[in-house]
Structure 1
Amino acid sequence: MPHGWQILERPSEFSEVRSALTGAGSYGVVLVGAAGVGKTTLARSVTESLRSQVHWVASTESSRSIPLGVFAHLVGPSTSRDATALLASARESLVSQGNSIVGVDDAHLLDELSATLLHQIAVDQTGRILATVRTGEPVPDAVTSLWKDGYLRRIELQPFTKKQSVGLVESVIGGRLEGLSADLMWKSSGGNPLFLRHLVEGSIDAGTLRKVDDVWQLRGPTAVPSGLVELLESRLEQSGEDVLGVLKILALCEPLDIDALTELAGDAAVDAAEMRGLIRFQQDGPTLNARFSHPLVGDVVRSKIGRAAERRLKGQVVQILRRRGLDTPASRIRMAQLSIDSDQSVDNELLTTAAKDAIYLSNLPLGERLARTAFDRTGSLQAGALLSRALLWQGKPAAADDILAKFAPDELDELQLVQWAIPRLSTLFWSMGEVEKAWKILELANERVRHPSLALVLDATAAALTVHQNEIGEGIDKALTVLADPQAPDQAVEFAAFAAGLAMPVAGSGDEFEPIAARCRAEQKTTDGMIRVMVRYCDVLALTHTGQLDLAAKRAADYADFSSVGQFLAWAIAKIMAGVVATARGDFPEVVSSIEQALAALSAESPLPWQLPGRLLLARAYAALGRVGEAERVLNDAAAHSGPSMALHEPQRLISKAWYAAAKGMERRAVELARAAADNARHSGQFALEAEALHHATRFGDRTTAARLAELTGVVHGSPAPLFARHAAAFAASDAAGLDAVSVDFEHAGLLLSAADAAAQAAHLHDAAGDRRKTNESGANALRLADLCGGATTPAVKTAARPLPLTSREREVAELVAAGLTNREIAEQLTLSVRTVEGHVYRACFKLDVADRDELAKLIKKKS
């Protein structure tokens, strides 16, 4: 393990306990909490901070049967059997020195005489007491009265919050914990520090908690190591066989409604399990469900159930649940899971429907398991198509294609042909790059399918393929035609919405996607939950491109609420949504955090195509933060997704490369790449991307973008395009006041790094005009805004931070000199002659009054 476990401070609780021990009129405290919550740790840390003498004793099950057991060592060699004499002797030893504290760990295990001694000390106020008591355990009356009668303060020690739990784990593993894994670990541990420690250590040893691309993620079941097993088993052994029977049933089917649980295990046993704090009840709508108080208890109980008992117990649950309606996805999934592992018969239609439900809910590992079981039992195309889709979305395209290759299209009817063709061509197109083969399958299906609704499904699929090949206008037309048809089935609507949602925002009509997104949100029908997730991504993309950043962030947050770790792929795409909004805002630390986690979650046997937009955002964020090496690595990784099937993202790839060039100090190259991105976007109909690319070129120093940006304000909807045009016009006219004004408006719009660049460009112009006051004001504003973006370092911001009397080309060459490149290497990068580079170096040295190349490099590094 990278780091050792540390004590996580609880400042408010520490202060409260310390005050109870030292304050006037207070004579101690009883800390109450669950086993492992940190009572003893907190108690000991408080007493260690005091100068008082502390007598610590720890009660145990064995000492409970001995009168004055934990205090026996204080009585001495007396053979007296007089309880009063024994109490007096022990009391004298404890409080004779004055200002002493009696510390009792696990006071609920005190024998009656010891509890009486503690009570006497509190009543007589002859010493201060610090005791710990475990929640859910029987407590001697003498101890209970300590707080009930007001002698001691009772403090409930709560489990760690999620933030505390994640902070503790990350301090131990020495890295960032994936958000979805953090949710699972916090819920599994219940925020209990001891449970959390055992869970982390056990999962690392089992290999289920591992580091992927600098992000730690938990995949597979949580591992419970021997130390925690022993702790929990001792508690279970004391609960009795009837309570253990309740726990075994719940371990196989959590949550379970109270009626089913009591029918199976009996009222008395269920009540006893609740009273011992092993289970709890939670109202889920109209149903009162039983759950474990700590999920890790379920893991330990499951280890005590043999295969035969498991099949029998699950069979009993199935018999009860069969009497109820299976009218929700959750109920069908549960019944299917229980049935296939029970001694009861399995309904094949239920298996297929439950597999579809799981895929609908984006739980692809579960969908794969159920679909594979159905496919193995029936060999049906419906089950095979579901299995193929679940495999595809998990980055297993070859396995997905193998399933569908088992079917001969000539033997399929129209419906079956569509069910076969859509998943197969999707695999070929997006994951295997077999573009021509995918279109041929679509053509084959179109030749044979005559049913209008099925033809619409094929048309919607064609729209999605067309958009991804960067034929934006044609793709939008195809998608809108499907969406306008009242006969369009759900699958056609969703595929068409997916196509339109990717194309309309970049085309400049993102506002027109809102009613489509609203329709999909309202209907909530799908056969493929991942397509629904994609439509949600498109929703956030459209809002971002039209400048509605607050609403985009809210939608992204709303869409990121997932109920199970099995939905990690959908969770990853939700993280990319957050990255889209954060990139627009210039919140690059958030971009890095979100996208790194997304890419780790999207890691698979074969690269998933949805890694591409995430990687392009991440590369831009790294470049803006000056992390050039990481930006280069991510751009190289993104090359794995290049090709005609992902041509839609080519403008974004060129924009990211432009930012990488700018981060390396190659400003002219950055302008060239931004202009190339604009040209590509213009020719394909991505007019919003064209406007954005020209805006980047302006920020890198291009003064020729104003005319085209002015034209685009009549084409691209939303607030950003007019701001881009105003910025370009002010920059072209060397209008410092205009740049200051547009900087303010950029900031109000939430485009913070654009605001920083406009202010930085204004500062340069003020400086050239000799207006020192305005130079300082604009420069300070630029640096303030850049700091809000995580300390971003754009070419314009660099100039504002360290104005140098150099031309842009001289500064570019000087940056590369500082990076350690030779004149020949600089010439190759900038496509110049070596003699020209030497001339720029000479003039830069002359203007900056340095003697040679080495001093030039030192000065540039110092200014950085």
Structure 2
Amino acid sequence: MTWGYRADETALSAVAEAWAKHRPVLITGPAGIGKTRLARHFAESVGRRPFWIIGAPAMRGTQLGAVAAAIPVGFGDDVDSVWTTLRERLPARAFVIVEAAEHLDTASAAIVARLFASFSGVGIVTAGGPLPPALRQALDAAGVREVVVPPLDLETVTELVEDRIGGELSVAAAVRLQQVTGGNPFFLTEYVEGALRSESLAPGSAGIWELEVDTEISDDLRQVAAERLAGASESEERILDLLSLCAPLPRAVVDHLGLADGVGDAPGDLVLPLADAVVCGQAMFTQIRRGELGPLQRRRLVGDLVEALAATGERPVETLHRARLCLEYGLAAPAQVFTEGAATAFLLGDLILTEQLARRAIDTGAGLGAHLQLSRSLAGRGQAGRALQVLAEIEPDSLDEDDLAGYAITVAITHTVGQGDHAAAHGVLDKFEPRITSAAARAGFAAIRALASVNAGRPYPALQWARAAQALGRQVPLWSALGEFVEAESLRRSGEVARPLQIVRQALGADESGGALVGTGARRTLVQALLSAADLPAAQREGERLLEVSVLQHIPQAIACATLAQVHSARGDFSAARRLCETALAALGDGDRTGLGRGTAMHLTIAHAMTGDRAGARAARRRTERATASVASWAGANLQVARAFEQISVGEITRPVAVLRAVADESLAADQRAEAAAVLHAAVRLGDRIAAQRLLAVALATEGTLPHLQRTHAAALLADDAAGLSTVADDFGRLGFLPAAADTWAQAVALDRTYAARLAAVLKRCTDYVSPVTRIAKGHSALSPWETLSPREAETFALWDAGCTGGEIAEILGLTTSTVTGLLARLRTKMSSPQHGSR
């Protein structure tokens, strides 16, 4: 990956396929997306020299202007004579690239149309807009293949920018860069260069590069914007200015201000409709416009916008925009506006804005509602003590039923989400529920009970409460949505895949009325279910989508980053997984006790262990300990797994597999079959036959392609079936689970050394991956043809290859130093390769 434009491999393959079938190719996409680079790259790949015909807006009214730039055109030449000249001048094996074909003049378009109609495989047309009718008709008649160049995804943006800066980019910075540039390579390049010049993009205290909101816009980027905005109507400019202050902009505001004629409906338009709102066709333009507005202009715009929001703002999001603008610019508004704005901000996951609006509401004389929102915002950011203190002076017995329900739900949420004390959450609800009669409030109680139960690792009670919340809360979207999502997560943990996927997809596709905090948890369930379905590409897409739609602060950020980290670990990209885990833990803070922190620290331990990083695994395990309130309950499972993988990082097998089997037993006792299958397969990958025997039964009762494949792996291991292991390894590799493929190939090597080349090929694709069984495969490859390794010798070799001394090996395995010395001597005798001599 290099800085600048990249050649999209998928688009390149589509062009190559059309070329092989002698079909013309039309490459489409917005300016700067990489159409020209793709066309040039393909021409080079087939050994053809490009012959350029370039359309230009300034020459669109000049007949034959585009062709005249490519070949001599005499005075008085008509289309026929120019066509003849073009055929004569066109070099043999020339590859015609028609650039910006939407700007061709009529005569040039007619000649290009005749060219593509007369010759098959003559070249490529690129366009950023509708083609001239004659050219479009000719290409369609010739069976044109249209290839749309997609924008850069989040992973590619991160790789490109990190290549440029020579360091690690924060997740929040990567998401912002991808969003503000729309994944456009040219915009990204110019935006980053401007940010570097203005030092808006710079390394932070931990060496991770961060991006400030205000970034210098390069001259080239301003020129692109100026050219695009030159033809903007007065209404379009006005809407863009409003969008620079409020995005998305409610459609009711646009209509109220008489700007409806400025809203387009086609890709490339400056302003586009989005449900009941409008958005900028390219986010870059609003940032440029915002930077060009003077303080007085901005103040007047804000006044107009707030007035329009007050006149039209019946929906919560419009009230939120009004409250935010009044807060930011010091404008007056009723306390209720700030309270309602705080409630909406909380649902959308913006916890910092929630706190700011709630405090302003309290300062303006608001009552209980503002205090509840302030408490929830603090609890959601890990400040549970402060959250409870906000409510300390409230006397529950003085509250009516509705206020009491809100108070009890808020305190319960603080306990389960802020403190990880799920029993306390149930206790609060038990205390006040007898005074609650309304269906809406009882739905809220049931939904919070469901959330606390699933967080406590009790999926069956969580499922019952989740369904009760849905039955009671049909008229309360928040509680109904929370009930749906907890139901999906409970079913997933119990080992189902089909129903969780169906529930979450339908709920997210129909309505995200539960808000960002609920929707974030639902998308996490979706990603994990897709992993069980072995659909890694979809899991990554949804994981990146989760990162893009989440407000990047505290719990929403932590959930999004921790979720995507699991996808990267499954793929074998442990560097990305570690960065995401670190970001999640930083968002949660050291005081986190919610369960998310200890689970993320456990995954960080695994990511370090799988690259043989002993020190990193040890440090991550300690962080898991700090985030674990109790080791005696279900909450202690994460710490047990972290300890097992710290041992695995140094090449151990015997002790960690025993721990993994114990965690699987605890998981099954809690009806967590998905977790049980996962940890048992981790032991199977280490060659444990007891775990393999148990996995046969567990995976049989668990849905999904991945558990089925894991069960097949266990059966092949028990049967000492090298060919069966080879088939499983191929399946893991085909699905993208490279670490699992590597371990399975390593086990095949132990039975048949001819598979060593296949193992080496997978390890080349799986960056820095190393596990005890891949170390053991290395030892098998070095043996004399007639030699084998016993289980004790295999583990000794793995520990030795990981850098353990004889004394350390003796302590780990519970052997005497002399016994280990004898084992190492026997290993050296068996090794046929001299590089395995004594250390």
Question: Which aligned pairs between 1:320-331 and structure 2 lie closer than 5 A?
Answer: 320-324=308-312, 326-327=314-315, 329-331=316-318
Q: Give the residue type in structure 1 aligned to 2:209.
A: W
Question: Do structure 1's residue 732 and structure 2's residue 721 form an aligned pair?
Answer: no
Alignment of 1:359-374 (within 5 A): 359-374=346-361
Identity %: 24
Once the two structures are superposed, what CA deviation does each residue of 1:321-341 show, in whole Å capped at 9, x if it has no partner?
4443534x5433333333445
Q: Could you tell me how far 1:751 is from its partner in structure 2?
A: 4.9
1:620 pairs with 2:620: no
Q: For residue 664 of structure 1, report the CA deviation from its aligned partner.
A: 1.3
Q: Distance in 2 between matches of 1:6 and 1:544?
A: 31
Give the partner amino acid of 1:781.
Answer: R
Deviation string for 1:793-842 (max 9, x for gaps)? Answer: 33333333441443332343344445554433333333333343333234
Conservation of the 8 A alpha-carbon contact between 1:760 and 1:796: yes
Using the alignment, how far apart are the partners of 2:471 and 2:792 within structure 1? 54
Provide closer, same or farther for how the CA distance between residues 504 and 395 of structure 1 changes in structure 2, counting only shifts above 3 A.
Answer: same
Which of these residues, 778, 790, 797, is aligned with residue 774 of structure 2?
Answer: 797
Q: Which moved more, 1:645-654 or 1:617-626?
A: 645-654
Give TM-score, length-normalised by structure 2.
Answer: 0.70
Aligned position for 1:319 = 307
> How many angstroms does 1:587 deviate by?
0.8
Q: How does 1:731-750 map to 2 (within 5 A)?
A: 731-744=717-730, 746=732
Q: Quote the Cα distance in structure 1 between the aligned partners of 2:450 and 2:700.
A: 26
What secondary structure does 1:509 align onto? coil
Q: Identify if the C-alpha distance between structure 1 residues 453 and 229 changes in structure 2 by more than 3 Å, giving closer, same or farther.
A: closer
* Alignment-mate amino acid for residue 177 of structure 1: L
Give the alignment of 1:567-582 within 5 angstroms.
570=556, 573-582=559-568
Residue 452 of structure 2 aligns with which residue? 465
Q: Work out whether residues 249 and 261 of structure 1, in 8 Å CA contact, stay in contact via their aligned partners in 2.
A: no
Q: CA deviation at 1:579?
A: 3.7
Consecutive unaligned residues of structure 2, counting only runs of 5 or more, are 9-29, 35-57, 60-68, 76-99, 112-124, 130-148
For the 8 Å contact 1:709–1:725, the answer to whether it is kept is yes
Q: CA deviation at 1:667?
A: 1.7
1:232 Cα shift?
12
Distance 2:240 2:736 in 1: 52
What is the match of residue 688 of structure 1? 674
1:170 aligned residue: 162
1:37 & 1:350 partners in 2: Cα distance? 42
**Which residue identity lines up with residue 571 of structure 2 in the other structure?**
D
Provide the TM-score with structure 1 as the length reference: 0.68
- 2:576 matched residue in structure 1: 593
C-alpha deviation, 1:373, in angstroms: 2.7
Contact 2:559 2:584 in 1 (8 A): no
Secondary structure in structure 2 of the residue aligned to 1:827: helix
| Contact 1:396 1:605 (C-alpha < 8 Å) held by counterparts | no
- Give runs of aligned pairs for residues 760-839 of structure 1, distance below 5 A: 760-765=746-751, 767=752, 775-776=753-754, 778-790=755-767, 792-803=769-780, 804=783, 805-839=788-822
Structure 1 residues 201 and 316: CA distance shift in structure 2, 3 A: closer
Identify if the C-alpha distance between structure 1 residues 365 and 726 changes in structure 2 by more than 3 Å, giving closer, same or farther: same
User: Offset of 1:477 from its aligned partner?
Assistant: 4.1
Equivalences for residues 252-267 of structure 1 within 5 A: 252-253=245-246
Measured in 2, the distance between the counterparts of 1:207 and 1:362 equals: 25
The match for 1:46 is: none
- CA distance in 2: counterparts of 1:172 and 1:342, whole angstroms: 37
Give secondary structure in 2 for the equivalent of 1:832: coil
The within-5 A match list for 1:672-711 is 672-711=658-697
1:425 aligns with 2:402: no
Is the Cα–Cα contact under 8 Å of residues 366 and 566 in structure 1 kept in the other structure? Answer: no
CA distance in 1, matches of 2:708, 2:246: 57
SS in 2 for 1:705: helix
Q: Counterpart in 2 of 1:30?
A: none
Paired position in structure 1 for 2:345: 358
Question: Aligned letter for 1:174?
Answer: G
Q: Deviations over 1:408-459 (max 9, x none)?
A: 3233233323322333333334433556654543333335434454334323
> Separation in 2 of the partners of 1:265 and 1:485?
43
Q: Hey, what does 2:295 align to over in structure 1?
A: 306
Is 2:394 aligned against 1:407? yes
Aligned residues: 743
**Residue type of the partner of 2:493?**
V
CA RMSD for the aligned pairs? 5.8
Aligned to 1:221: 213
| Structure 1 SS opposite 2:364 | helix
Look up the match of 2:431: 444
* 1:702 CA displacement: 1.8
- Do structure 1's residue 388 and structure 2's residue 403 form an aligned pair? no
**1:355: how far off?**
2.9
Q: Is the 8 A contact 2:488 2:499 kept in 1?
A: no
Shift of 1:543: 4.1
Residue aligning to 1:666: 652
Mapping of 1:486-501 within 5 angstroms? 489-501=476-488
Distance 1:556 1:832, change over 3 A: same
TM-superposed deviation, 1:534: 0.6
User: Separation in 1 of the partners of 2:749 and 2:226?
Assistant: 71
Q: CA deviation at 1:530?
A: 0.8
Q: CA–CA distance in 2 between the matches of 1:473 and 1:234?
A: 59
Q: Which amino acid aligns with 1:665?
A: G
SS at match of 1:177: coil
Work out whether residues 336 and 351 of structure 1, in 8 Å CA contact, stay in contact via their aligned partners in 2.
yes
Deviation, 1:497, is 4.1
Query: Secondary structure of the equivalent of 2:373?
Result: helix
Secondary structure of the residue that 2:209 maps to in structure 1? Answer: strand
Q: Within 5 Å, which residues of 2 pair with 1:468-483?
A: 468-483=455-470
SS in 2 for 1:704: helix
Change (3 A) 1:266 1:793: closer
The residue that corresponds to 2:492 in the other structure is: 505
Q: 1:230: how far off?
A: 11
The unaligned stretches of length 5 or more in structure 1 are 12-32, 39-106, 109-117, 125-134, 136-143, 768-774, 859-864
One-letter amino acid of the counterpart of residue 377, structure 2: A
Counterpart-to-counterpart distance in 2, 1:749 and 1:9:
25
Secondary structure of 1:711's counterpart equals: helix
Task: Tell me, yes or no, if the aligned pair for 2:412 and 2:448 is still in contact at 8 Å.
Answer: no
Q: Describe how 1:218-297 pairs up with structure 2 within 5 A.
A: 218=211, 221-224=213-216, 251-253=244-246, 280-284=270-274, 291=280, 295=284
Alpha-carbon distance in structure 2 between the residues aligned to 1:730 and 1:434: 43
Cα distance in 1 for residues equivalent to 2:239 and 2:684: 69
Corresponding residue for residue 522 of structure 2: 535
Q: Write the distance in 2 (CA, Å) between the matches of 1:197 and 1:568.
A: 30
C-alpha distance in 2 between matches for 1:640 and 1:361: 30
Maintained 8 Å contact 2:371/2:390: yes
Greater Cα offset, 643-652 or 387-396:
643-652
Distance 1:156 1:175, change over 3 A: farther
| Kept in 2: contact 1:246–1:261 (CA 8 A) | yes
